[in-house]
Structure 1
Amino acid sequence: MIAAEDTVLVLLAAGKSARFGDVGSKLNEPFLTRPLGLHVAVALEAVPFKQRVAVTSPRCTIDYTPHGFTVIGNDDPVGDMASSVRLGVACAEALGAKAVLLALADMPRVTASHIYRLLDAADSADAVVASSDGVSPKPPALFARAHFDTLCALSGDQGARDLIRAGRHVVTNAAELIDVDTPEELEQLRELVHAPEALTLPGTRRHERPTV
């Protein structure tokens, strides 16, 4: 295993929210009384990471610093989407981390127990351990230090998909790995967990249903 104390958490929160519409950043949208993009940060507060890094864009108005994060700004995540990964991994390398855990801020249901399972499954100095819903691998994903150079060489819209596919996969409930890309997906998630916003926010299906 790789200890949490030797791992830097990199929270990627600089996405362009292209499929969500003209909202600035979908991460600012309310979900269960707090911004959508804050849930992962709160869920992992008790995990004793070596350091926490949030890579954000000017569109995201969430303040991650009260939750123990060092915030790195990415002013042009649209032109070079892999730049957020590079910024986060470079920070982890400078801190002397043995591994980096890449998590997405638009996956609000990730739990600390699942993160510990990823850490436990890292059984070598060149480990890659990704999450899976039983169908396909995806973030959160853990990369040992041996892969830092590869991650720092990513460019454009190139991601770490090839590394993730070739790595070890830890299966969890598909509901834990829901990511939110569209307003419809956020509304479905609100209804799934009976979020109060599903009843109170204008434009949601349950809000618009006539009462009998």
Structure 2
Amino acid sequence: MIDAANITAVLLAAGQSRRFGADDKLLAPLADEPLALHAARRIAELAPGRRIAVCSNGDGTLAAMLSGLGFDIAVNADATSGLSQSLALGIAAAARGPELAALVCLADMPFVGTRHLQSLLARFDPVSAPVVASSDGETAMPPALFDRALFDRLRASEGDRGGKALLSDAALVMASAGELADIDRPDDLRRN
């Protein structure tokens, strides 16, 4: 178990959203507020030691909203380089602080609740469970918690796979049905 004060939460919010169309999906409305703010608010409720959001533009609307919720902004100006670039930037920012682990969340997963995030922290152990991932019963996925000893490996990942290689040995925490759904297309907003 790790206390929330001893982690950095990293919110990845710099994707290209190609399947969503021309609009910025992270600013698309879901239940009367921008999609990305749902994940950001659950992180804020968790009260981690630090909050970092990786955005494609440090001066944009999304960065301003997230900054208003207490997130430090790391900029990934080259979103075409894939998820791993955003992950590397977020983990590099996390490594500059004293926190013992990083909780990596995706801004397009608006249904993950604070209770699930707390369950990830409760399952964490730096020796027996240095990686704790969410699961839908079939797959290990974000949100995921990584011990500080793994930061260098996370920063070295490439492409769109992010920290997936490390998730293969993760301790798993089951999420409730639909909680790990992500938003990829405009129709996904209408279904939820």
Residues of 1 paired with 2:76 and 2:97: CA distance? Answer: 19
User: Where does residue 19 of structure 2 map in the other structure?
Assistant: 19
**Correspondence for 1:68:** 70
Q: What are the Cα deviations for residues 9-46 of structure 1, in whole angstroms up to 9, with x where unaligned?
A: 000000100111111x2001001110001101112322
Tell me what 1:102 maps to.
104
Residue 84 of structure 1 corresponds to which residue in structure 2? 86
Aligned length: 188
More RCO (CA 8 Å, sep 6+): 2
Matches for 1:26-45 after TM superposition, within 5 Å = 26-45=25-44
Aligned partner of residue 46 in structure 1, secondary structure: helix
- Pairwise CA distance, 1:186: 1.6
* SS of alignment partner, residue 9 of structure 1: strand
1:150 corresponds in structure 2 to 153
Aligned to 1:113: 115
Instruction: For structure 1, list consecutive stretches of 5 or more residues without a partner in the other structure.
Output: 190-212
Aligned-partner Cα distance in 1 for 2:5–2:139: 28
> Are residues 1:162 and 2:165 paired?
yes
For residues 173-188 of structure 1, what are the structure 2 equivalents within 5 Å? Answer: 173-188=176-191
1:9 pairs with 2:12: no
Distance 1:169 1:106 in 2: 21
CA distance in 1, matches of 2:42, 2:82: 29
Residue from 130, 136, 141 that aligns with 2:144: 141
Give the secondary-structure state (helix, strand or coil) at the position aligned to 2:112.
Answer: coil
1:111: how far off? Answer: 0.9
SS class of match (1:166) = coil
Please give the secondary structure, in 1, of the residue aligned with 2:45.
coil
Deviation at 1:79, TM superposition (A): 2.5
Distance 1:122 1:79 in 2: 30
Separation (CA, whole Å) in 1 of partners of 2:81 and 2:174: 33
Q: Give yes or no for the alignment of 1:54 onto 2:57.
A: no
Task: Decide whether the 8 Å contact of 2:74 with 2:93 is kept in 1.
Answer: no
The root-mean-square deviation of aligned C-alpha atoms, in Å, is 1.5
- Closer, same or farther: CA 61–143 of 1 in aligned 2, 3 Å: same
2: CA distance, partners of 1:66 / 1:55: 14
Q: Percent identity?
A: 41
